[in-house]
Amino acid sequence: PGKRVLIVYAHQEPKSFNGSLLKIAVEELTKQGCSVTVSDLYAMQFEPRATRNDIVAFPMLNNLNCLSLSAQERCSRSCIIRRLIKKLIYDQTAFLKVHSFFPLFWFSMPAILKGWMDRVLVQGFAYDLSKSYDGGLLQDKLSLFSFTTGATKEMYSNGGVSGDVRYVLWPMQHGIMHFCGVKVLEPHICYAPENVSEEKRKEMLTAWTQRLKTLWKEEPIKCSPEWYFK
Amino acid sequence: PGKRVLIVYAHQEPKSFNGSLLKIAVEELTKQGCSVTVSDLYAMQFEPRATRNDIVAFPMLNNLNCLSLSAQERCSRSCIIRRLIKKLIYDQTAFLKVHSFFPLFWFSMPAILKGWMDRVLVQGFAYDLSKSYDGGLLQDKLSLFSFTTGATKEMYSNGGVSGDVRYVLWPMQHGIMHFCGVKVLEPHICYAPENVSEEKRKEMLTAWTQRLKTLWKEEPIKCSPEWYFK
């Protein structure tokens, strides 16, 4: 109760299965007394490209020096528009939880969501030169990735053609969230909702509702190579 | 000689280290008699978002049926604009090689390059329902990922904080290229060029020039879990 939740949502169709998962999460978490903010990236027409056009001098980024080449690279990585700073950083430093909802595209996030990570989680806000992983700047926060796949659970198993699904979680959970100091809850994966019966899809939605009821009691995973690659 | 090469380039600064790697590749491959096309994504202002706005009925996509929900999901995944079909598909079905040059952002490609993969490699062109991996539609083609990192080689080693660099290659090489039937050459990784001496950077560029001279004699990697996770 009283927890602040940010949901970053990346599906263009409200009637999609991801849309249903989102709706359930908003309803259930609100019912629990959480304060829920949804960033609906397609509806916002979120700009995923990290371009030089939106570079602004950001006082937290001490090493910003546009004259040297190496700093240009750093600059491009840290670029951010004022609106984003205001909306996404100052407002949300207090968020306790990030949910990301999306369909898996090519073993990874859709570009629009990857762009959110590229542009919002900048140096000085999410991490710093010597502050990363367990020392990252977003400690005491939790994250959870919820996504749908095209392939089946069998394909995403050890020995399946797509390999263990945990392999695709490494860059997202460890490379992004853990890097920033954020703790990671078990992902929520709905396999191939397109190819199952309507009844099975309903079961998947019920399971999600059930999970949300005890979500705050869950322990984060131990985010180290062993979890991913055994 | 006579080989067609497509280079997909994702850095906004021509004077960057990635820009230098690109320049060397264009010069060296052209000198060898290859026909080189560069898709400079930032210069093209490439749209990375897969939105409903650019969905067009694409005759190759037989299952496209915008009325049902599941098809909408499939649709969103296969969306494509006519210009892209013309420029990127029909023109480039004959490409023999895709180079991708980019700085690694968050253990993955920058959003603009991820968007290229999301929107260009559509069903019916790159893969089909029962045609993927060794049976993918882009067989007899080669790919190579060339990227720079922020972290050092030690950090990207087995036991390092960022884990083995091969972990981050799995979604790109196996999940995208291998899935489409494309063979994969060893990646070309320049570690932390921002943080090494000018002399070391020059050595890195020389090593790349040298590699290009015998590139066509290289054997593709064996793209299976063993290569990545031993």
**DSSP sequence for A116-143:** HHHHHS-BTTTBBTTB-GGG-TTTT-EE
Residue A228 CB contacts under 8 Å (≥ 6 apart), including other chains:
A164, A166, A167, A169, A170, A174, B167
The rounded mean pLDDT for chain B is: 80
Distance CA B2, CA A191 (A): 44
Give me the residues of chain A with pLDDT under 50, please: 54-96
Q: Identify the bridge partners of residue A127 per DSSP, sorted by sequence position.
A: A123
Which residues in chain A (113-152) have CB-CB distances under 8 A to chain B? 114-115, 117-118, 121, 132-133, 148, 150
Q: Distance (Å) from the C-alpha of residue B74 to the closest C-alpha of chain A?
A: 8
- Give the best residue of B65, B119, B167 to mutate against chain A (max A CB count within 10 A): B167
The whole-number pLDDT of residue B140 equals 80
Chain A residues inside the 8 Å CB shell of B117: 105-106
The whole-number pLDDT of residue A3 equals 80
Chain A residues inside the 8 Å CB shell of B11: 76
What percent of chain B shows pLDDT beyond 70? 79
| A171 closest CB neighbour out of B11, B107, B115 | B107
pTM > 0.95: yes or no: no
Which residues in chain B (193-222) have CB-CB distances under 8 A to chain A? 193-195
CATH number where A111 lies: 3.40.50.360
Three-state SS string over B25-94 comes to HHHHHHHCCCEEEEEECCCCCCCCCCCHHHCCCCCCCCCCCCCCHHHHHHHHHHCCCHHHHHHHHHCCCC
Q: What is the mean pLDDT of residues B201-212?
A: 96
Distance CA B214, CA A80 (A): 41
The whole-number pLDDT of residue A89 equals 43
**Partner B contacted by A103 (CB < 8 A):** yes
| Interface contact flag, B168 A150, Cβ < 8 Å | no
pLDDT exceeds cutoff 60 at B19? yes
pLDDT digits (tens, 9 = 90+) for B2-16: 788 888 899 888 888
With 0-12 CB in 10 A as exposed, 13-18 as middle and 19+ as buried, what is B208? middle
Cα angle: A103, vertex A104, A106; to 5 degrees: 140
| Interface contact flag, A52 B13, Cβ < 8 Å | yes
What is the domain range of residue A63? 4-229
B12-16, B25-29, B120-124: which range is least confident on average? B120-124
Residue that wins the pLDDT comparison between B90 and A24: A24
Distance CA A85, CA A87 (A): 6
The whole-number pLDDT of residue A130 equals 86
Cα angle: B114, vertex A6, A38; to 5 degrees: 80
Stated as kind and residue range, the H or E segment containing B179 is none
With 0-12 CB in 10 A as exposed, 13-18 as middle and 19+ as buried, what is A35? middle
Q: Which among B85, B83, B64 is positioned nearest to B73, based on CA atoms?
A: B64
| Interface contact flag, B114 A117, Cβ < 8 Å | no
Q: How confident is the model at residue B196 (pLDDT cuts 50, 70, 90)?
A: very high
Chain A residues inside the 8 Å CB shell of B193: 70, 73
Q: Distance (Å) from the C-alpha of residue B7 to the closest C-alpha of chain A?
A: 19
The whole-number pLDDT of residue A98 equals 64
| A170 closest CB neighbour out of B45, B103, B167 | B167
For A141, B12, B18, the CA distances from A4, given in Å and listed in that order, are 10, 36, 40
Phi, psi of A188 (to 5 degrees): -115, 110
Question: How many domains does the structure of chain B reveal?
Answer: 1
Distance CA A112, CA A224 (A): 27
Q: What is the mean pLDDT of residues B18-38?
A: 92
Q: Distance (Å) from the C-alpha of residue A213 to the closest C-alpha of chain B?
A: 28
Q: What is the mean pLDDT of residues B165-183?
A: 95
Decide: B137 and B125 in contact? Cβ < 8 Å: yes
